[in-house]
Amino acid sequence: MTAAFVIASLFLGMAVILVPLAHRLNLGSVLGYLIAGAIVGIVLTYVAPMLGMETTHLLEQLNHASEFGVVLMLFVIGLEIRPSHLWRMKSTILSAGGLQVSITALLIMAVSMLVFHLTWQVGLAIGLTLSLSSTAIIMSTLKEKGWQNTVGGKASFAALLFQDIAVIPIIAVIPLLAVSSVASHNEIAHGIDITAYLPTWLKPIVVILAIVLVYILSRYLINPLFDYIARARQKEIFTTAALGLVTTIAAFMSLIGLSPALGVFIAGVILSESEYRHELEADIEPFKGLLLGVFFMTVGAAFNFSLFGEQFMLIGLLTVGLILLKASVLYLVGKVLRLKKIEHALFFLALAQGGEFAFVLFTLAVGQNVIDPSIADTLRIVVALSMAITPLLFLLYEKVLLKKMMTTDSDDRAADDIDEENKIIVAGVGRFGQIVGRLLQYNQFNVTALDNDPNMIDTLRKYGWKVFFGDATRMDLLHAAGIDSATGMVIAMNDPDKVLELTAYLIKHHPNLTLFVRARDRTVAYQLHRMGVKNIYRETFESSATMGEDVLKHLGMRAYQAKRAKLRYQQEDEALVAQLAESFFAEDEKGHLLKVQQQLDNLAKVLSNDQHVKQHSMNKDSGWDESSLIEDLGSKNKY
């Protein structure tokens, strides 16, 4: 028991220290977990024996428990995919995943036979196993970075989906590749396997029947069961049932030698159209996150440093070779999918590693006498090392390739010839500038719209909006757009640095031009106030205040009272930003924070003393008083 507490403390302690540090350094939480696990592995390998602690058995048990995190992740992913959506993605899934798995498996089989002189059976087993990528690392990182809904992210997800489904036939095929008819049943991948003694030809039939049974149970039995549980109105019982559902399906799939993750994924897809879908997802999410973190740490802890030291050169070359081979195949598949440069890079870098299913499949292959144990041990290290390198590949994409390719795409395209001049120029037609430009155009005011995002411009032109390509910070382009004759300019670019740069130039060289400037956040607003800009628009301020107004009405406040409260808050908060702009730059952080707190306290007093708020609290109604509203807020207020 003492050893168990020590291991748990080491895992949790290293995670608490290293994961936030890795996130702070923009390395991603996955790499933090892997490094934490590797340090724990070193401690357990070299330090624990000196203290007389036996940790091997406990570490194996922890590894099995953490694999449940991958199972839960696949279930949640399944819940988020409706069968109809899956059907619409079928061509992408087949092309992205089918081509990648088949080409990668054949190439690795060829290398195994020609370079390492292995039999075709062994080569095929290794090729199929290494063709799979890490769903856990990729999906966690895509979600963490916000890339899951990009074109490259969706293509990566489609390939992973095919790989996860492909595990079923791979598990069925591996026993057929056995070089000996005698299998070591005590080493079967999933522990107890009731199909171990069945004839080889019967196993695929059992697999198909098992999948059909999971479908029938998920489709026709689980919903009535959850109806029964829901009527008890006991949340903890519902959570227990949700976890019980996952563990039951996982156990059933394990008993017949299949991947438990695949079984629960199928159940998740079927339950995605259930009315209990969101409840199931919410109940399982906390367990998924915790166990996934433990899984990544056990991958790091299981790293065999002794074998790595003995075969350093071979393992290093194999790891680099695996990543380069898979990246090359994915590059070709991306060409087939016609991905653009930025999305293409994300696709072939994201999937270039080995996956967590490799540990299961190599154990199965050893148990079935398909692969020699020494080969499997070496390849497990290669897979673990490739998984550890993956966060660095994502970092390379984010910090180097993404910026370079976005710049290259813009630089490669010459600026458009601007053939019109209007009173208003809009710089930046993303989510913010589009609304401004369309509102003006719908009211019969033409605008000259500029943006340097080729994809955005091509999309808007499809919908009939005339947008010119070019960098609005280029002075020659501004003159071509008619900056000398324009009366106003909307600066709505996504990049705050570009916004500030362009604003400073226009204030200096075109002081008579009226500027309407987007501020991404309060800090940018401080800088714009300091520059003397009058018309500043914090991008979420108005919509957030409007939501607050609606919530006040929902809580029983009269419409005019809620409107007044909203406008008063906006007026006072805008004045507060203007007042704090100087202290933000003139004082140290401590002094600025003190002043902010003082001003917020004053703001709270002003708002709470508003006579109309008091009337609402006393259930009095003085009616809508337009004159007092104008008097309170001032006729010059822009609201």
Q: For residue 61, is it within any domain?
A: yes
CA 294 – CA 298 distance, rounded (Å) = 6
CA 108 – CA 324 distance, rounded (Å) = 12
Same domain? For 379 and 510 the reply is: no
Same domain? For 383 and 459 the reply is: no
CATH code, domain carrying 58: 1.20.1530.20
DSSP code for 95: I
Same domain? For 434 and 328 the reply is: no
Nearest Cα residue to 398 out of 613, 112, 144:
144
Q: For residue 415, is it within any domain?
A: no
Q: For residue 577, is it within any domain?
A: yes
Q: Which domain holds residue 610?
A: 424-633
CA 88 – CA 383 distance, rounded (Å) = 32
Length of the chain: 639
Signed CA dihedral, 21, 27, 29, 34: sign only: negative
Q: For residue 583, is it within any domain?
A: yes
CA 299 – CA 388 distance, rounded (Å) = 9
CA 538 – CA 540 distance, rounded (Å) = 6
Q: Which two tokens stand for residue 621?
A: 């109604």
Query: For the whole model, what pTM was predicted?
Result: 0.60
Q: For residue 235, is it within any domain?
A: yes
Same domain? For 26 and 71 the reply is: yes
CA 21 – CA 238 distance, rounded (Å) = 36
**In the prediction, which pLDDT does 1 show?**
56
Same domain? For 399 and 498 the reply is: no
Same domain? For 122 and 164 the reply is: yes
CATH code, domain carrying 463: 3.40.50.720
Same domain? For 175 and 315 the reply is: yes
CA 532 – CA 236 distance, rounded (Å) = 57
What is the number of helices (H) and of strands (E) in the chain?
A: 30, 6
Helix (H), strand (E) at residue 249: helix 235-255
| pLDDT tens-digit series, residues 88-136 | 777 888 888 899 999 999 999 999 999 999 999 999 999 999 999 988 7
**In the prediction, which pLDDT does 53 show?**
62
Contact 265, 71 (CB under 8 A): no
Same domain? For 377 and 460 the reply is: no
**In the prediction, which pLDDT does 638 show?**
45
- Calculate ∠ Cα 160-108-340, nearest 5°: 45
Which residue among 406, 432, 453 closes a domain? 406
Averaged pLDDT in 10-residue chunks for the chain of 639 residues: 71 84 74 81 71 60 61 71 70 87 95 93 94 86 80 87 82 75 43 69 77 78 79 76 81 75 74 74 74 74 81 94 95 88 86 85 83 90 89 85 61 62 89 88 88 78 79 83 91 89 90 92 88 90 90 89 86 81 66 66 66 51 51 49
The edge-to-edge listing of strands for the beta sheet with 488-491 is 468-469, 447-451, 424-427, 488-491, 514-519, 535-538
How many domains are contained in the chain?
A: 2
Q: For residue 638, is it within any domain?
A: no
Which residue among 406, 432, 454 closes a domain? 406
**In the prediction, which pLDDT does 576 show?**
80
Contact 249, 222 (CB under 8 A): no
Helix (H), strand (E) at residue 450: strand 447-451
Which residue among 406, 435, 470 closes a domain? 406
Q: For residue 412, is it within any domain?
A: no
**In the prediction, which pLDDT does 226 show?**
78
Contact 423, 487 (CB under 8 A): yes
**In the prediction, which pLDDT does 188 show?**
42
Same domain? For 384 and 512 the reply is: no
Same domain? For 229 and 329 the reply is: yes
Same domain? For 400 and 436 the reply is: no
Same domain? For 394 and 488 the reply is: no
